[in-house]
Amino acid sequence: MENKKKKETARVLSQKELAPGIYDMWIETEMAKRAFAGQFIGVYPRDKETLLPRPISICETDREEGKLRIVYRTAGKGTKEFAGYQAGDETEILGVLGNGFPVNEAKGKHVVLMGGGIGIPPMVELARELKEAGNSVIVIAGYRDDKLFLKEDLEKYAGVYVATEDGSTGVMGNVLTVMEEKNVQADMIMACGPMPMLRAIKKYSRENGIKAYISLEERMACGVGACLGCVCRTKDIDHHSHVNNARICTDGPVFDAEDVEI
């Protein structure tokens, strides 16, 4: 069986800043043909002092054109370097990494997607895949303020509600505030965002009898499961480490919320 994890030289097609510190990059790569919602790629900085790739989630794919979209926040030396890339530049990437959202399991269900902060980008590809599969989809996007990056992209595929921490736009609060205030119903929840948000979603889904899949954001080193630097507690024993852990980079980043202790 062909190993889906490969290192490849990709070409930058375009890049723009969507909001302060949030960058939107399209790259040309063969990986686009085998990438799905919830997976990620590793992008290598050119600076040889930084040996490891930076994990960035897949925002959108164009499989016919062989194009992949990543939307990321500048946080350290590596991502700040990426922000300077321009059309025509080349970059080394590793992928496709991780296990994505189980779109097939959502068949016939009303699915609510929840994205918080930099957990919003994966919701674009996920909303598209779910819509193409015939699902009814609602997206609840949680922002800090009125810089509503990717809102228009999400609206192409789903009805969108917005929550802002400062109340500048939409509902003041978080994604679950929207669920309650707008009386949003769900057969299944799929979510990506900061850990406090995911903990709250797990609690909410359990209390309301809703199946939930969550994508865990975690600092990763190798991205291929070798270093055990991004483990989380699970109810089952991992065959690799022989303890109740899972490697987020390879076993996830998407998990059934009931399978992980967060």
pLDDT for 72-120, tens place per residue? 999 989 999 999 999 999 999 999 999 999 999 999 999 999 999 999 9
Average pLDDT, the chain: 89
Residue 199 in any domain: the answer is yes
C-alpha pair distances (Å), 94 with each of 41, 52, 78, 106, 208: 6, 10, 15, 29, 39
128 and 210 in a common domain:
yes
181 and 193 in a common domain:
yes
Which of the four pLDDT bands, split at 50, 70 and 90, describes residue 3?
Answer: very low
Indicate the number of domains in the chain.
3
201-219 average pLDDT score: 90
pLDDT for 24-57, tens place per residue? 999 999 999 999 999 999 999 998 777 788 999 9
Q: pTM of the full predicted structure?
A: 0.89
| Whole-number pLDDT of residue 50 | 73
Residue 171 in any domain: the answer is yes
122 and 202 in a common domain:
yes
Which of the four pLDDT bands, split at 50, 70 and 90, describes residue 1?
Answer: very low
Sheet strands side by side (includes 245-247): 245-247, 231-234, 260-261
pLDDT for 222-239, tens place per residue? 445 444 455 555 655 556
199 and 119 in a common domain:
yes
> What residue has token string 């939409």?
170
Among 170, 95, 120, which residue's Cα sits nearest to residue 19?
120
55 and 126 in a common domain:
no
**pLDDT at position 67 over 90:** yes
185 and 136 in a common domain:
yes
Distance CA 104, CA 41 (A): 22
Residue-range definition of the domain harbouring residue 18 = 6-97
Distance CA 132, CA 88 (A): 32
Residue 232's domain is classified under what CATH number?
A: 2.10.240.10
Which of the four pLDDT bands, split at 50, 70 and 90, describes residue 4?
Answer: low
Domain boundary among 97, 114, 135: 97
